[in-house]
Structure 1
Amino acid sequence: MGTGHYFWAIFYFTSLCSASLANNAKINFREKEKKVLDQILGAGKYDARIRPSGINGTDGPAIVRINLFVRSIMTISDIKMEYSVQLTFREQWTDERLKFDDIQGRLKYLTLTEANRVWMPDLFFSNEKEGHFHNIIMPNVYIRIFPNGSVLYSIRISLTLACPMNLKLYPLDRQICSLRMASYGWTTNDLVFLWKEGDPVQVVKNLHLPRFTLEKFLTDYCNSKTNTGEYSCLKVDLLFKREFSYYLIQIYIPCCMLVIVSWVSFWLDQGAVPARVSLGVTTLLTMATQTSGINASLPPVSYTKAIDVWTGVCLTFVFGALLEFALVNYASRSDMHKENMKKKRRDLEQASLDAASDLLDTDSNATFAMKPLVRHPGDPLALEKLRQCEVHMQPPKRPSCCKTWLSKFPTRSKRIDVISRITFPLVFALFNLVYWSTYLFREEEDETVLPLL
């Protein structure tokens, strides 16, 4: 056998030995982890019922630092006034009873999956309605114990939280939904929650909400005092802005179109009664259905919302267009009645003139009395002549532009239609100006107040 064969045989044998030693080292290393766990968590060595000591082993309260990672926000319900969120919740504290030897830096931390093996803070979410853990495929929870006794607890949970809303500016509103965490049994003398320094709350970058936008979030403290003591509390306020484009397309523009369609009846002939009545009733019913559909998606509240003002005024305009036709119909019948009376009066005058002419023809031989050349001052005919002269001497009044323009339409019913063609659009445009300037200005005021909260 040559020298080369001896070299490769020795190399192969050395490799097998090193691999075997490495495997034994790994096995021994995992055995050391087990021994460390048994050493710090063995029976009679650690009691999970006793809370950790304070800072530097003092008898002060245990300090627990909180960190949140918001994975998703599923729904924000206006009717139930709640929102659903999925987050990774982390707690970190120091328990000096859990210190261990890190084997010259090789043992960075120990991992547990059973929370009942160590002491846990009694934190709860005070505004929670529903919640559940995630157990697919395995429970999404871990506990890491570091050599200096620091404990990191991380869990993925889904929560449905209460979110009281003020809908006065709906749908031009902003809502603040809070997430509150507090201690249930330990007072501040024994347990204090603090936000983790740096960046205590993180939000996933591609967070997408169907009708809201998460503008910002603020962290704060909300300690509460009861007759049993003061309890530590943390909160994070999520500021949501409602997306207005959806409501502009689904509510505001259709309402404007219905109001404008109701004005078409002003341009129809007065005699087209079925067309004008059907148009007014149809737009009124459609507007009422639109209003009821909007209110069905909102909770019944005791105050007036911005959308209530809009739908109420639009409904009033549509109803006003229907009443305008009723007024036009009444004025048209009144005009016809006056026209008939004038016609009858003209017929009577013509008949009286014909009778007088016949009487003059038959009495042509009668004598006529001579009229006096000079009349007395109290004579009625002289006074009438004097009044006529005074009237002719007065300067003629200049007619106004409106009267001149309205004189082109002889009937009152036609005048009502013409006036409505101008009045309704002008009043509706004025309402839009006041509405948008008022609510947009109030929205800006709310933006300046929110940071103070």
Structure 2
Amino acid sequence: MIVPALVLITILLQAVTCSSIKINFREKEKEVLDQILGPGRYDARIRPSGVNGTDGPAIVRVNLFVRSIATISDIKMEYSVQLTFREQWLDERLKFNDFGGKLKYLTLTESNRVWMPDLFFANEKEGHTHNIIMPNVYIRIFPYGSVLYSIRISLTLSCPMNLKLYPLDRQTCSLRMASYGWTTNDLVFLWKEGDPVQVVKNLHLPRFTLEKFLTDYCNSKTNTGEYSCLKVDLLFKREFSYYLIQIYIPCCMLVIVSWVSFWLDQGAVPARVSLGVTTLLTMATQTSGINASLPPVSYTKAIDVWTGVCLTFVFGALLEFALVNYASRSDMHRENMKKQRRQCELEHAASMDATSDLIDTDSNAAFAMKPLVRHPGDPMSLEKVRQCEIHMQQARPNCCKSWLSKFPTRSKRIDVISRITFPLVFAVFNVIYWSTYLFREDSEES
């Protein structure tokens, strides 16, 4: 009975001792790192082997997470983006024992400890990494030798734009990533399967909307070989509501205000001149402000057509007043001439009446009397009838002429015609403008 009791006590003591001993896997991580990355064991200068340990090119799969897009500059033709950039490849030299799944992966913060792909951003202007509070970068090594590299970076990238349809345009900005030194015989970049590019949900852009994005390949060949390249095309649509409120509606208002001059009296010279000059200067200032926010390009933009035509309408209203002023002075001169002619006719008629009273009535008997009424068959009477009929046909009332005849002076007629012509032509221009550029926008989108 004593021996079984001692055996039972011994077993219980061993169980308690074993349960009190816990394996510190953090220490195991250090041992594994020293084992796979120790001196003489791993050389970061040598690239990994190809698929299945062959001598083929190393395959690096890339994916992105777009955190924010800060600015899209039209005048500099660039955009700023902040993203999380990830690369993943297989390096069989980094395999290790995971202790039955206890070590899921090893984490490094120094990228120079392992081999890294020499990827660079081909259309980068400026860029920097983030180091607050610690460097935003990590390297994870998985038990089967897979390496995951992740870093947060901010980039300013060039984006060549075609502004022919500005501000009714869409712009495509690219993000290009390529190998700098390794050719496709040694290194190949591929997009990660599934969802290689992700965009934050609450992405807000000034004056733009991100419609969609496409991934593609852009391998380049030079005299030193072919290099692997990846690209992301971001399609941005410009928000038109901002330009409608800031440009189009104010320009329409300036054009309409310039038409007020047509309703003022011809004699209100200071009012009409000040109105025309003010609207012309305001329109010119508006045009200069628009051009200051855009790069100088050699082609005509949609906004140039709009501002140019609006400026022409405002200038035309000012010229219309110059024509009205000239016509008004002509009307005054013609009216004075008519008054002088009437005065001369009255004076001449008075002198003729005084002279006729002095003529002797007997002298009239020496002249032959002419008949006062001609016979119906007289050719002279028929000719006069034809002339009267032709005159009546030519003098038939015309609606436009009869309406314009209500305004006796030419200056007033010019104002009345301008009140109708200017709005009508501007309306026709709007129909042609919007149908043309909206149709071109839809065709380019399709």
SS at match of 1:362: coil
**Residue pairs, 1:29-428, within 5 angstroms:** 29-364=25-360, 367-368=363-364, 369-373=366-370, 387-394=383-390, 396-397=393-394, 398-428=396-426
CA distance in 2, matches of 1:370, 1:128: 113
Letter in 1 for 2:195: D
- Alignment: residue pair count: 426
Residues 231-274 of structure 1: CA distance to partner in whole angstroms, max 9, x if unpaired? Answer: 00000000000000000000000000000000000000000000
CA distance in 1, matches of 2:415, 2:91: 85
Moved more, 362-371 or 173-182: 362-371
Backbone CA RMSD of aligned residues: 2.0
Residues 416-446 of structure 1: CA distance to partner in whole angstroms, max 9, x if unpaired? Answer: 0000000000000000000000000000001
CA distance in 1, matches of 2:293, 2:424: 32
CA distance in 2, matches of 1:410, 1:347: 21
Letter in 2 for 1:422: I
CA distance in 2, matches of 1:332, 1:113: 87
CA distance in 2, matches of 1:20, 1:113: 33
Deviation at 1:361, TM superposition (A): 2.1
CA 1:191–1:396: 2 relative to 1, 3 Å: same
Letter in 2 for 1:153: Y
Deviation at 1:365, TM superposition (A): 5.5
Letter in 2 for 1:216: K
CA distance in 2, matches of 1:384, 1:271: 51
CA distance in 1, matches of 2:398, 2:389: 21
CA distance in 1, matches of 2:379, 2:302: 68
Deviation at 1:205, TM superposition (A): 0.3
Deviation at 1:390, TM superposition (A): 2.2
CA distance in 1, matches of 2:382, 2:319: 49
Deviation at 1:391, TM superposition (A): 1.6
Q: Report sequence identity in percent.
A: 81
Deviation at 1:146, TM superposition (A): 0.3
CA distance in 1, matches of 2:32, 2:157: 41
Deviation at 1:399, TM superposition (A): 1.9
CA distance in 1, matches of 2:20, 2:341: 131
CA distance in 2, matches of 1:392, 1:285: 56
Residues 138-180 of structure 1: CA distance to partner in whole angstroms, max 9, x if unpaired? Answer: 0000000000000000000000000000000000000000000
CA 1:344–1:383: 2 relative to 1, 3 Å: farther
CA distance in 1, matches of 2:368, 2:82: 113
CA distance in 2, matches of 1:107, 1:306: 62
Aligned to 1:21: 21
CA 1:117–1:327: 2 relative to 1, 3 Å: same
- Indicate which of 417, 426, 429 corresponds to 2:427: 429
SS at match of 1:304: coil
CA distance in 2, matches of 1:227, 1:75: 36
CA distance in 1, matches of 2:432, 2:201: 39
**Residue pairs, 1:1-12, within 5 angstroms:** none
SS at match of 2:332: helix
Deviation at 1:392, TM superposition (A): 2.2
CA distance in 2, matches of 1:19, 1:354: 147
Identify unmatched segments of 5+ residues in structure 2.
1-12, 373-377
- Indicate which of 432, 436, 439 corresponds to 1:438: 436
Letter in 1 for 2:294: L
CA 1:245–1:269: 2 relative to 1, 3 Å: same
CA 1:18–1:267: 2 relative to 1, 3 Å: farther
Deviation at 1:60, TM superposition (A): 0.2
Deviation at 1:385, TM superposition (A): 6.1
CA distance in 2, matches of 1:390, 1:35: 127
Deviation at 1:400, TM superposition (A): 1.7
Identify unmatched segments of 5+ residues in structure 1.
1-12, 376-381, 449-453
When the two structures are superposed, what TM-score results if normalisation uses the length of structure 1? 0.91
Letter in 1 for 2:274: S
Letter in 2 for 1:121: P
Residues 261-318 of structure 1: CA distance to partner in whole angstroms, max 9, x if unpaired? Answer: 0000000000000000000000000000000000000000000000000000000000
CA distance in 2, matches of 1:366, 1:279: 73
When the two structures are superposed, what TM-score results if normalisation uses the length of structure 2? 0.92
SS at match of 1:396: helix
SS at match of 1:344: helix
Letter in 2 for 1:273: V
Letter in 1 for 2:393: P
Aligned to 1:3: none
CA 1:69–1:393: 2 relative to 1, 3 Å: closer
